[in-house]
Chains A and B, each alone.
Chain A
Amino acid sequence: MTTQSTTAQPYLVVEDLKVRFTTEDGVVRAVDGVSFELPRGRTLGIVGESGSGKSVTSMAVMGLHARGKRTEIAGKILVNGKNIVTMTDEETRKMRGNDMAMVFQDPLSALHPFYTIGRQITTAYKVHHPRASKEDARKRAIEMLDRVGIPEPHRRVDQYPHEFSGGMRQRAMIAMALVNNPALLIADEPTTALDVTVQAQILDLLTDLQKEFNSAIIMITHDLGVISQIADEVLVMYAGRVAEHGSIEQVMRSAQHPYAWGLLESIPSLHGDPEEDLKPIKGNPPSLINVPSGCAFHPRCPYRMMNPGPCDLEVPQLLAISQPGHSVACHLPEDRRVAIYTNEVSEVGVAQ
């Protein structure tokens, strides 16, 4: 049970988080110095491509990486003031599902095929309420199923995941995540596996639930449309680092990082001239074992400054710009970035 109720102090603080995996091919710098804060009642969208480190970050916040010789985690993750990174496994386990919970991409594979939906939800409840009776736990499960919009929860509670449709399964997954009233909910691509009409329902549900429970939500997705609909602020990640961080308005309407521009320009829109060519980002996302020197995006960046440097030599710091709450990790001077955005980017793709 969380006692924290103020929104003044951020519920989640991530400071200079680094996650490294040692593999046979080399060291994977999956997350390399990520910092952000998130108060209750707000939604942070983390956008990035595969290998950007967005999922690894969320797993680290959940304390789900098995620490050992092969996995190294550094930095700070404060959940409700308690540092996940330095905690024992048992301490993080007690917080998991209770203070912070997670919803995954594919609800069919994320639910155990052999147990009923009800049993899985009651299990999640009873872990953190060991004194709750079977009847209480079941009542709670039915209540949660009802709350997430599953019709006939009394009947559905005894069904198995394969008897649910895709959308209903994701609702059940959300019910399971929220059964202990966690203050922080991490949703990792929760609608990617769903049909678009069902996706809309789930996004609406998450928004409603957030209002009701005043939870902090991290929404991980590659879909800028989903981010625009649900997030208050956005973290754009590239190759394990934060490229840009700001409010949804700031990132979607006056993006400052060339990678963010690339995303905005390359996504086809439902508006504008369909005959116009998209502007793709050239090249491929880098391997995290062999991250390009300096700014990891520089090999793909049309605006890079080289010979001499700094883009290929120095890792750009994530610095606040004149707009409060907006920060960017890019060597380009701010006035130049503003000019590029206004003249080139804002006319193309979804940015318009």
Chain B
Amino acid sequence: MLRFIIKRVLAALLTLVAIDVITFVMFFAIPSSPAEANCGKNCTPETIARVNHYLGVDRPFMVQFAEFNRGIFLGRDVDGGRVLNGKPVIDHCHIPCLGYSFKTQEQVTDVIGRALPVTTSIVIGAAVLWLVTGVGLGVYSALHRGKFGDKFAIGVSLVGTSMPVYFFALLLLSIFVFSTGLLPYPQYTSIATNPAKWALALILPWIALTFVQAAGYARYSRSQMLETLSEDYIRTARAIGLPARTVHLRHALRAAITPVITLFGLDLGAFLGGVAITETIFGMHGMGWASVQAASDLNLPVIMATVLIASVFVVIMNVIVDVLYAFIDPRVKLS
């Protein structure tokens, strides 16, 4: 088992290095001048050159790449070319240094530090909700196949899967905030500051994501459950006299839920990188919002950081899913 985990982690690290290289090459190759985009109205070639030097984009690719990665693991000192009291100011970019935002001159790590809790709050809360409702609904449908409850659930989930999240989110806002005023316009508050306010602000994003995601999960777990129920070992479980409840909830669900968990892990990884539409509509400044902003500003360090962090989440969730799968399904070869 340990060998298996080590192997998976090593493979994941290799993937991360590859992602690091690829993203860096991609952004380096973009023919754009962030200095020009950010130096304002009274732009002189000297200013641009100074900004380019400050940003570090005037150095050779390999040097920039080495510098960037050194920053992540060791932190680095940046000579911004500013002079204060006759001395050049050296900024220390702390570990993990992802550079400075072109836009706000603050460390990218700080930008991320503000955005990440917002996204994790939205996504983890919603994920728990959509997993529970989705799987619950799917299992209920499968066990009542063809009956009214099943048909109703299928209908609801069809609406859910076919409705775009921005539409449903706006619908929620207009009903609960603008028309009835039952809820205040969502304003993110840290859970540490005020848990009640935190939850209150997140209710609508959670519902929006849950509705859209749970629909897919309901359909998927229903089909998985139906397939499992027709397996021979379910017939065996009934033949030894197990009560229907045990057969369904212990023997069938355990096998049916395995692929659902895989999907869940991968979804979670993808979503933690940012849910741009949901965040934007509800005015939440999370990772998705930050990356959209950065993209429109050509704010390369922030874009790089969001892409890297999103990839890290996907890779980590992949490893977790693989390891979890090996725990659930003994047939997975561990050697």
A residues near B (Cβ < 8 Å) are: 62, 64, 89, 93-98, 101-102, 104, 106, 109-114, 123-124, 127-128, 160, 162, 173, 176-177
Contact B232 A96 (CB under 8 A): no
Query: CA–CA, A127 to B238, complex, Å?
Result: 11
Contact B240 A124 (CB under 8 A): yes
19 contacts between A and B (CB under 8 A): A93-B241, A93-B243, A94-B241, A95-B241, A96-B238, A96-B240, A97-B240, A104-B235, A112-B233, A112-B251, A112-B255, A113-B255, A114-B328, A123-B240, A124-B240, A124-B241, A160-B330, A176-B236, A176-B240
Question: Within the complex, which residue of A96, A113, A160 is in contact with B233, where a contact is CB–CB below 8 Å?
Answer: A113
How close is B112's CB to chain A, nearest CB, in angstroms? 40
* Residue numbers in B under 8 Å from A127 (CB-CB): 240-243
Task: Across the interface, name the chain B residue whose C-beta is closest to A113.
Answer: B331
Query: CA–CA, A95 to B331, complex, Å?
Result: 33
* Residue numbers in B under 8 Å from A98 (CB-CB): 241
Contact A110 B241 (CB under 8 A): no
* Extra 18 A-B pairs, beta carbons < 8 Å, given A112-B237, A114-B254, A173-B236: A64-B238, A93-B241, A96-B240, A97-B240, A97-B241, A98-B241, A102-B236, A111-B236, A112-B236, A113-B233, A114-B329, A123-B240, A124-B240, A124-B241, A127-B242, A127-B243, A160-B331, A162-B330
B residues near A (Cβ < 8 Å) are: 231-233, 235-244, 251, 254-255, 328-331
Task: Across the interface, name the chain B residue whose C-beta is closest to A102.
Answer: B239
Of the candidates B235, B239, B330, B331, the one having the most CB atoms from chain A within 10 angstroms of its own CB is B239
**A128 with B330, Cβ < 8 A, contacts A106-B232, A112-B236 known:** no
Of the candidates B241, B242, B251, B329, the one having the most CB atoms from chain A within 10 angstroms of its own CB is B241
* Residue numbers in A under 8 Å from B231 (CB-CB): 109
* Residue numbers in B under 8 Å from A89 (CB-CB): 244
Query: CA–CA, A110 to B240, complex, Å?
Result: 12
Question: Within the complex, which residue of A93, A95, A110 is in contact with B236, where a contact is CB–CB below 8 Å?
Answer: A110
Query: CA–CA, A93 to B241, complex, Å?
Result: 5
**A111 with B233, Cβ < 8 A, contacts A160-B330, A162-B330 known:** yes
Task: Across the interface, name the chain A residue whose C-beta is closest to B239.
Answer: A102
* Residue numbers in B under 8 Å from A124 (CB-CB): 240-241
Task: Across the interface, name the chain A residue whose C-beta is closest to B333.
Answer: A162
Contact B233 A109 (CB under 8 A): yes
Of the candidates B231, B232, B233, B254, the one having the most CB atoms from chain A within 10 angstroms of its own CB is B233
Contact B241 A104 (CB under 8 A): no
Question: Within the complex, which residue of A64, A97, A101 is in contact with B235, where a contact is CB–CB below 8 Å?
Answer: A64
How close is A308's CB to chain B, nearest CB, in angstroms? 46
Query: CA–CA, A346 to B129, complex, Å?
Result: 71
Question: Within the complex, which residue of A110, A114, A176 is in contact with B255, where a contact is CB–CB below 8 Å?
Answer: A114
Query: CA–CA, A83 to B239, complex, Å?
Result: 17
